[in-house]
Chains A and B, each alone.
Chain A
Amino acid sequence: MPAVRTARGSRKPPPEGFEDIEDTLLEFANKMKDAQNESHEGKKRHEMLWPIMQITHQRSRYIYDLYYEREAISKQLYDWLLKNNYADANLIAKWKKQGYEKLCCVRCIQTKETNFNATCICRVPRNQVGDGKDIQCVSCGCRGCASGD
Chain B
Amino acid sequence: MLKSTHKTATPPPILPSLPPGWTEHKAPTGHSYYYNAETKISTYTRPTLGTPTPFPAAQIHITTNLSNPYSGPSYPHTFTNSTQGQTQADFRGRGSFKGGNGYQGRRSHHPEDRPKHRYAIPNCAPWTLVKTKLGRRFVHNTETKESFWKFPEDVMKGVVEFDRMERERREQRERGESSENQNDRETVAVEGKDARRCSITPAEQADEADLDSEYEEVEVTEEEGEDDEQGNLPKRHRTEEPDSNLPVEFNEDDIAYQLAAMGEEYGLDPGEYGEGDWEEGAEGLPLSEEDSIALFHELLDDHHISPFTPWETLLSSGSIVDDIRYTVLPTTKARKAAWDIWSRSRIETLKAQKASQAQQDPRIPYIAFLHAHASPRLFWKEFQRKHRKESELRNSRLSDKELEKIYRDHITRLKLPQSAAKSDLSTLLKSIPLKDLNRASSSSNLPSAVLTDLRYITLPAAIRDSLIDAYISTLPPPPAAHDNGQDDEDASERRKDRDRREKALAERERRVQEEKRRQRRDLEFGKGRLREEELELERAMKIGKGGLKAHLNDKEERGDTE
Give A residues with C-beta under 8 Å from B. 13, 20-21, 23-24, 27, 58, 62, 65-66, 69-72
On chain B, the number of residues with a Cβ less than 8 Å from chain A's Cβ atoms is 13
A-B contact pairs, 11 of them (CB 8 A): A20-B350, A24-B309, A24-B313, A27-B313, A58-B312, A69-B340, A70-B343, A71-B344, A72-B308, A72-B343, A72-B347
Shortest CB-to-CB span from B165 to chain A, Å, is 61
Closest to B309 in A: A24
Name the A residues within 8 Å of B350 (CB-CB): 20
Q: How far is the CB of B118 from chain A (nearest CB, A)?
A: 63
CA distance A72 to B347 in the complex (A): 6
Q: Is the CB of B347 within 8 A of A70?
A: yes
User: How far is B308's CA from A20's CA once the two chains are assembled, in angstroms?
Assistant: 7
In the complex, what distance in Å separates the CA atom of A114 from the CA atom of B296?
A: 47
Which B residues are CB-close (under 8 A) to A71? 344, 347
Specify the chain B residue showing the minimal Cβ separation from A27: B313
B213 at the interface (CB under 8 A from A): no
Residues in chain A near residue B313, CB distance under 8 A: 24, 27
B105 an interface residue at 8 Å Cβ cutoff? no
Count: A-B pairs, CB below 8 Å? 29
Cβ contact of A13, chosen from B307, B344, B347, B396, cutoff 8 A:
B396
Complex formed: what's the CA distance from A66 to B313 in Å?
15
Check A65 against B310 for contact (C-beta < 8 Å).
yes
| Minimal beta-carbon separation of A62 from chain B (angstroms) | 5
* Residue in A13, A21, A69 whose beta carbon sits within 8 Å of that of B308 in the complex: A21
The CA of A70 and the CA of B311, in the complex, are separated in Å by: 12
B306 close to A (CB within 8 Å): yes
Q: In the complex, which residues of chain A have a beta carbon less than 8 angstroms from the beta carbon of B344?
A: 70-72
Q: Which residue of B lies closest to A22 (CB)?
A: B308
Residues from chain B with a CB closer than 8 A to the CB of A72 are 307-308, 343-344, 347
Question: Given the complex of chains A and B, what is the CA–CA distance between A24 and B396 in angstroms?
Answer: 23
In the complex, A12 Cα to B308 Cα: how many Å? Answer: 23
Contact B308 A66 (CB under 8 A): yes
Interchain nearest-CB distance for B348 vs A (Å): 9
| Alpha-carbon distance between A70 and B310 when the two chains are bound, in angstroms | 11
Q: Which chain B positions have C-beta within 8 A of A27?
A: 313
**Residues from chain A with Cβ under 8 Å of B396 in the complex:** 13
Q: Which residue in B310, B340, B343, B347 is a CB contact (below 8 Å) of A24?
A: B310
Chain B: minimal CB distance from A20 (Å): 5
* C-alpha spacing A71/B341, complex, angstroms: 12
- For A62, list chain B residues within 8 Å (CB): 310
Q: How far is the CB of A17 from chain B (nearest CB, A)?
A: 8
Given contacts A24-B309, A70-B344, A72-B308, could you give 16 more A-B pairs where the C-beta distance is less than 8 Å?
A: A13-B396, A20-B308, A20-B350, A21-B308, A23-B308, A24-B313, A27-B313, A58-B312, A66-B308, A69-B340, A70-B343, A70-B347, A71-B347, A72-B307, A72-B343, A72-B344
